[in-house]
């Protein structure tokens, strides 16, 4: 406990934890103040995500390489998963799908772009292990393609019933989870040396004792779930009052909030000339959304959602995901980076954000 408090004292990001009680109290006292609750919820989720990430790494560090890696990989996007599950239970499928698509686009374009830019401002040209970057970009491309097939196929058959899309989505979810399991076997067991430099990154931080880590993991997950509920309830109304479309909120705001902790690691890696780490976090995180978070949400929708959710995205989201993964594949292909590469990757992200921001809301 003392260690936890000490950690909080040293890390200014964690001072935002004060917004956790604020949002929970606020929800009781003024449930109709949607905009305020939304802002408080965003401010509360960021430090919780950081704690969750640190706790996961600490548990991973204490349980040995194989189990630890497994935990780290599976819980790495826990924040996104909890937010999406909350939205799923509320039947906000548009928000769930936008947050899946947004997480993939934000991780590949924003996280990668800012990493290249920050690194490039400090170092003239940065070189990184292009073999592992290529493997990871390849995995990401294939994972995204598999995720997108239901959206591409039925476009040709507008009459095809929702039954087709739903059956396809379940079959696909099972295939994706099998691929995820095999991918874990690949990256943690049979070919772990390909991913090593990315894995090494975290070792500078001292891990917490196992008891504290597990307790934090459990406690913080509950807190994230509670705050997510406020977030999901308030987001629609708040978005309206900010003049933001639901697509923009799901795609950009939720994705940036959910990935705040990983971004902090990726950016600090880039500043330390360890772009392997940044590229690994960005592409690995995006692959995980496609191969693990998305199918879990589809299968979970049969248990906790009002109706089953399919994996059909709107064409604009499909185009953005395809462009984002292709960009990542082309950009990481050379194993070299400079600041302007970061600017251009970021520009594609800004253009996406701008068009989602301006999109007339009633067309959804």
Least distance (Å) between residue 99 CB and a second copy: 17
Helix %, strand %, coil % of the chain (to 5): 85, 0, 15
**Cα–Cα distance measured from residue 101 to residue 132, given in angstroms and rounded to the nearest whole number:** 24
Shorter beta-carbon distance to a second copy: residue 220 or 239:
239
Least Å from the CB of residue 137 to a second copy: 8
Cα gap 149→168, rounded to integer Å: 9
At closest approach, how far in Å is the CB of 177 from a second copy?
Answer: 11
Binding mask 128-167 for a second copy (x = CB under 8 A): ---x--xx-xxx-xxx-xx--xx-xxxxxx-xxx--x--x
Q: Which CB atom, from 37 or from 147, has the smaller least distance to a second copy?
A: 147
Query: Which phi and psi (to 5°) does residue 127 adopt?
Result: -105, 145
- The DSSP code sequence of 129-184 is -HHHHHHHHHHHHHHHHHHHHHHHGGGG-TTS-HHHHHHHHHHHHHHHHHHHHHHH
Give whichever of 65 and 127 is closer to a second copy, judged by the CB atom.
127
Query: Which residues, in sequence order, are CB contacts of 227 under 8 Å at separation 6+?
Result: 20, 23, 24, 41, 44, 45, 48
Residue 220 gets the label, from left (phi > 0), alpha (psi -120 to 50) or beta, of alpha
Site pattern 47..76 for a second copy (x: CB under 8 A): ------------------------------
Helix (H) or strand (E) holding 336: strand 336-337
| Residues 341 and 105: beta-carbon distance below 8 Å | no
Instruction: Identify the burial level of 240 via C-beta atoms within 10 angstroms of its C-beta, where 0-12 means exposed, 13-18 middle and 19 or more buried.
Output: middle
Size of the site for a second copy (CB under 8 A): 74
Minimum distance from CB of 79 to a second copy (Å)? 26
The contact mask relative to a second copy for 168-207 (x = CB under 8 A, - = no) is x--xx--xx--x--xx-xx---xx--x-------------
Taking the complex as a whole, the smallest distance from the CB of residue 334 to a second copy amounts, in Å, to 5
Tell me if 108 sits within 8 A of 327, measured CB to CB.
Answer: yes
Residue placing its CB nearer to a second copy in the complex, 21 or 171: 171
Q: What residues from 303 to 362 belong to the interface with a second copy (CB under 8 A)?
A: 314-317, 319-320, 323, 326-327, 329-331, 333-334, 336, 338-341, 343-345, 347-348, 350-352, 354-356, 358-360
Instruction: State the minimum distance, in angstroms, from the CB of residue 161 to a second copy.
Output: 7
Site for a second copy in 66-125 (CB under 8 A): 124-125
- Decide if 281 contacts 198 (C-beta within 8 A): yes
Residues 221-240 that bind a second copy (CB under 8 A): none
Could you tell me the smallest distance in angstroms from the CB atom of residue 245 to a second copy? 11
Identity of the residue, 222 or 351, whose beta carbon is nearer to a second copy in the bound complex? 351
């Amino acid at each position: 406990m003392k260690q936890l408090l000490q950690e909080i004292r040293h890390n200014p990001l964690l001072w935002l934890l004060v917004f956790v009680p604020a949002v929970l109290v606020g929800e009781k006292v003024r449930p109709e103040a949607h905009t305020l609750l939304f802002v408080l919820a965003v401010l509360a989720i960021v430090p919780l995500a950081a704690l969750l990430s640190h706790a996961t790494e600490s548990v991973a560090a204490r349980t040995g390489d194989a189990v630890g890696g497994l935990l780290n990989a599976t819980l790495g996007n826990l924040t996104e998963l909890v937010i999406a599950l909350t939205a799923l239970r509320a039947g906000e499928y548009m928000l769930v799908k936008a947050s899946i698509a947004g997480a993939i686009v934000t991780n590949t374009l924003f996280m990668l772009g800012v990493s290249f830019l920050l690194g490039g401002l400090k170092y003239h040209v940065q070189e990184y292990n292009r073999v592992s970057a290529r493997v990871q970009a390849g995995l990401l491309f294939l994972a995204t393609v598999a995720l997108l097939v239901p959206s591409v196929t039925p476009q040709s058959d507008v009459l095809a019933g929702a039954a087709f899309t739903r059956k396809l989505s379940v079959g696909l979810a099972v295939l994706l989870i099998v691929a995820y399991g095999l991918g874990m076997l690949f990256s943690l067991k049979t070919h772990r040396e390909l991913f090593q430099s990315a894995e090494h990154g975290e070792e500078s931080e001292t891990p917490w004792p196992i008891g504290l880590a597990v307790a934090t993991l459990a406690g913080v997950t509950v807190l994230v779930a509670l705050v997510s509920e406020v977030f999901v309830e308030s987001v629609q109304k708040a978005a309206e009052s900010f003049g933001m479309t639901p697509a923009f909120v799901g795609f950009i705001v939720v994705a940036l909030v959910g990935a705040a902790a990983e971004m902090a690691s990726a950016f600090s890696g880039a500043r330390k000339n360890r772009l392997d780490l940044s590229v690994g976090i960005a592409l690995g995180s995006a692959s995980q959304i496609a191969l693990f978070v998305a199918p879990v949400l589809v299968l979970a929708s049969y248990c906790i959602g009002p109706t089953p959710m399919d994996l059909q995205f709107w064409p604009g989201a499909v185009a953005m995901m395809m462009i984002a993964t292709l960009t990542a594949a082309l950009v990481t292909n050379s194993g070299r980076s400079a600041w302007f590469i970061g600017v251009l990757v970021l520009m594609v992200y800004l253009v996406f954000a701008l068009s989602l921001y301006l999109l007339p809301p009633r067309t959804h």
